[in-house]
Amino acid sequence: MDKYLYTCDYCAKTYVPKRRYKQRFCSNSCRVNSHKRKNKLSPAKPDAGLKAPTEKPHKEGISMAGIGNATIANIVTEVGKSLLIKEEDKPVTKAEFQRLADKLGQRYILIKNMDARADGAPAYFDTTLQEIVHLKFLPPWK
């Protein structure tokens, strides 16, 4: 039987392999230690000598040109929005909503598309009774 001698990749001993061309280490402990050495992170080495001071990056401040550009961009977007959005799609303001709430808060609402009675009393919708009533005068209460 031939006796080929291999050299261990970890400890550099010579050994007779059990599996030719496949075995790199003389024992399991050498295989594990080699793997640990290969995967171990190397500690950071301190640099020798003095370093040049690093410059801090320049932080931009507020400038008149920046304010002007922001103002122009804001005006252009607002004008574009007002031109492109239809009036019925725009959000309701507080004043418009308050006017609508006041109008709906009344007890009697005049019905414009209904004829008046023979005695001339116009038709009103009573919001509390939810009926159509004919009144000769609008009562002072709501």
pLDDT digit string, tens, across residues 5-40: 899 999 999 999 888 888 899 999 999 999 998 888
What is the reported pLDDT for 107? 85
- pLDDT value at 133 more than 70: yes
Q: Residue 11: CB partners within 8 Å, gap ≥ 6?
A: 26, 30
What is the reported pLDDT for 128? 85
Q: How far is CA 105 from the centre of its chain?
A: 40
What is the reported pLDDT for 60? 78
Backbone dihedral angles phi then psi of residue 124, each to the nearest 5 degrees:
-130, 150
pTM, two decimals, is 0.30
